[in-house]
Structure 1
Amino acid sequence: METDLVTRVMAGEDPQFFVTIRDQFIGEHVKYDLPNCRLIMLPAYTYFAWACYAVDLKENRLTVYDPTLPDDADKEVVSLHVQVCDKIKKALADCAGMFFDGWQYDRAALEIKLLYRKQNMREP
């Protein structure tokens, strides 16, 4: 996906009502079956640096890839990522409900994981 989805989400806007975002989900030009995708990548310029939020629908995991995040990351930075993840989960559920019939996207099932520079994953 393009960066505008997470940008709109971080701004507190409802992304499902923007044409540029809708066009990433549905339309003749969309050649993939999004409800059956395993992985949705959401790049974003967050409050402090570029990051990527990867939604793994098979493993029910939302992984944060932030190359600036040290293993001993400040709790405020981790908290900001968790807040963005919560907004992404809601936005994807809203878009799934609006753009697709029968896509049962369970946002509560997505477990948030942070990938730190030392390449180890842990819960926030």
Structure 2
Amino acid sequence: MPLYDFRCRVCGRTFEAMAPMDGSDGVCACGGTAERLVSVGKAYRADADWIDSVTDVVDKASPSPHVRAFLADPSRANYRRFLRGEKIRPMEAGEFRRPAARNDAVRREVRERFIARNGL
């Protein structure tokens, strides 16, 4: 049986208890019925994939306050503060990385071949 959070309807106490998955109410120590609360475990983070990839590359020995705050609480808000502190601008929606600039000699040759091929 999984562990769930409950809140007593009589005394208001919040507690954890093992209960069947059928959604039934629990029983408090005071004898009152307790409603099951919607809760998320401490190990769950909806954005864990991207947070882990960022925290892997952060300088853990940095004394900067924005780095310390991000490592202490890797939330989206602290991630934005971390980026501002590091002077990094995140990509916006719809934005893409430009390809590396080509060599001018290559551009010139491509242009000359285009002109010759099309008789311009």
Decide: shared fold, TM above 0.5: no
The alignment's TM-score, normalised by the length of structure 1, stands at: 0.20
The alignment's TM-score, normalised by the length of structure 2, stands at: 0.20
Radius of gyration: which is bigger?
A: 2
In proportion to residue count, which structure has more strand? 1
